[in-house]
Structure 1
Amino acid sequence: MRGTITVFAASSLTAAYTVIGKNFERAHPGSMVKLSYGGSAALVAQIQQGAIGDVFASADQPNMQKLVDAGLVAGSPTIFAHNRLDIVVAAGNPKHIAGLSDLARSGLVVVLCAPVVPCGHYAAQALQKAGVTVKPASQETDVKSVVSKVALGEADAGMVYVTDVKAAGAAVQGVEIPVGQNVVADYPVVVLKDAQNGQLAKAFVAYLLGGGQQTLARYGFTRP
């Protein structure tokens, strides 16, 4: 099975998918996986505007549903992974943040994802569960931007996925959000209707649900 596929993937999948793409290529000699990362909402907009790709992996169901409703997918989306939220803080947790309630403290600079981005509406759900109101200093277009601002000292804290904290390395650390306040993020994947290499795209999705699960687990994702 030879050829090239373009995979549109949510930013939070960057570390895991980079490895999965290489492993898939090794398992399918003659194949090439081109990865295009971004916020799920931004990727949906690109696809709706005619961007050519073979596979789309979203960090939530609502953005995937937009493509389903527009008739831009081939078949039904499949959940391939779950994720959950963490509070991301600078290494050493200098502001001594212990939970979501601390994010409402006066003088604390908190950044969140924008509401249209999966990590943004997941964060809103978690804060609502905790009964906490946060006024973010900024609303970012993807999780990588939130992590970056905390790592660079431009913000004291943010809300991202557990997997993003894990992938960021020593510059940041995570503060666990209790199960009762946390939100489970569903990650669906689908072959796109206008896929240039439908057969290879289907093989990639099958790999995600099979051999790719080990890599996803290594980066903090859980099985569906």
Structure 2
Amino acid sequence: MSVPLVLAGCSSSGGATTSSGELSGSISVYAAASLTEAFKTIEQQFTAAHPGTSVTLTFGASSDLSTQISQGAKVDVFASASEKNMKALASQATSPTDFVKNRLEIAVPPNNPAHITSVADLARSGVKVAVCDPAVPCGVVAQQVFTNAKITVKPTANEADVKSTLAAVESGEVDAGLVYVTDVRAAGSKVTGIPIPGGVNASTTYPIATLKGAPNPALAKAFVDYVLSADGRKVLTADGFAQP
């Protein structure tokens, strides 16, 4: 199981609004690892727009985060890379809203040592491939791509989440990895992306929701509203996410 990455300072606290009606306090947001770059930007913009507030971002595999919430983690907002993991929290999530979609791309080291040019090349003998664990959303989508392409791939590495899969490519541990388009973009010159044709590719839809019993429901709702706003969509689109 992956260890979530926690960013920003404070833990969730009460304090929904000040006496003047302004938002205050802090919230805890659990989000899929693939949202790391976009949500860091959104968090900065949101807290700048609401002085005196803070947002703790915890990133990891959606399946792991969902389990932690179901086991009692004090969380205000959950953004999942899979509707399945959100549905597992049906009794705890308040009105989940689909806000983006993501699709896969092949990531290879910049020099592309295995000369990968297509999904079919991932099934070649001797090619080292990393994918996400089948239990997490990016692993589910990767298996769908292999099914669509009618190939059998025996991964060298099944990683905890998409960032770990990308890291295996960046380090040269593997010849290729199946990650999201957004992660290839975030990696910049550290990897080269090889697009997957639409007829073979697969995507996943991301829902976001406030959680019942959120310690700071007013700030939680405001954060979700910001993610769904034009400003939030602008950040997500710039990072390569598609509209659902």
TM-score bracket, shorter-length normalisation: over 0.9
Give the Å deviation of 1:173.
Answer: 1.3
Instruction: In structure 2, give the amino acid aligned to 1:3.
Output: G
Instruction: In structure 2, give the amino acid aligned to 1:77.
Output: P
Structure with a larger share of its residues in helix: 1
Q: In the alignment, what sits opposite 1:49?
A: 71
Higher-Rg member (1/2): 2
Scaled by the length of structure 1, what TM-score is found? Answer: 0.97
1:133 to 143, 152, 175: 152
Instruction: In structure 2, give the amino acid aligned to 1:118.
Output: P
Instruction: In structure 2, give the amino acid aligned to 1:223.
Output: Q
* 1-structure distance, mates of 2:93, 2:41: 25
Does structure 1 conserve the Cα–Cα contact (< 8 Å) formed by 2:165 and 2:177?
A: yes
Q: In the alignment, what sits opposite 2:93?
A: 73
- Count residues in correspondence: 221
1:4 to 15, 23, 26: 26
Which secondary structure state, in structure 2, belongs to the residue aligned with residue 221 of structure 1?
coil
Q: In the alignment, what sits opposite 1:98?
A: 117
Tell me the alpha carbon deviations over residues 71-103 of structure 1, each in whole angstroms, 9 at most, x when there is no partner: 1112x2101111110011001323211111000
Give the Å deviation of 1:203.
Answer: 0.8
* 1-structure distance, mates of 2:217, 2:240: 29
Give the Å deviation of 1:133.
Answer: 0.7
Q: In the alignment, what sits opposite 1:212?
A: 232
Tell me the alpha carbon deviations over residues 9-30 of structure 1, each in whole angstroms, 9 at most, x when there is no partner: 0000001100000100011121
* 2-structure distance, mates of 1:62, 1:153: 32
Instruction: In structure 1, give the amino acid aligned to 2:124.
Output: R
Instruction: In structure 2, give the amino acid aligned to 1:201.
Output: A
* 2-structure distance, mates of 1:192, 1:140: 28
Runs of 4+ in 1 over 4 A off after TM superposition: none
Give the Å deviation of 1:2.
Answer: 1.0
Which secondary structure state, in structure 2, belongs to the residue aligned with residue 67 of structure 1?
coil
5+ residue gaps, structure 1, are: none
| Most deviating of 80-89 and 92-101 | 92-101
Which secondary structure state, in structure 1, belongs to the residue aligned with residue 72 of structure 2?
coil
Which secondary structure state, in structure 1, belongs to the residue aligned with residue 172 of structure 2?
coil
Q: In the alignment, what sits opposite 1:25?
A: 47
Q: Percent identity?
A: 51
5+ residue gaps, structure 2, are: 1-22
Q: In the alignment, what sits opposite 2:9?
A: none
Give the Å deviation of 1:66.
Answer: 0.5
Instruction: In structure 1, give the amino acid aligned to 2:163.
Output: K
Scaled by the length of structure 2, what TM-score is found? Answer: 0.89
Which secondary structure state, in structure 1, belongs to the residue aligned with residue 218 of structure 2?
helix
Does structure 1 conserve the Cα–Cα contact (< 8 Å) formed by 2:80 and 2:207?
A: yes
Q: Equivalences for 1:28-177 in 2 at 5 Å?
A: 28-68=50-90, 71-74=91-94, 76-177=95-196
Instruction: In structure 2, give the amino acid aligned to 1:42.
Output: D
Tell me the alpha carbon deviations over residues 109-133 of structure 1, each in whole angstroms, 9 at most, x when there is no partner: 1011011100000011111011011
Q: In the alignment, what sits opposite 2:200?
A: 181
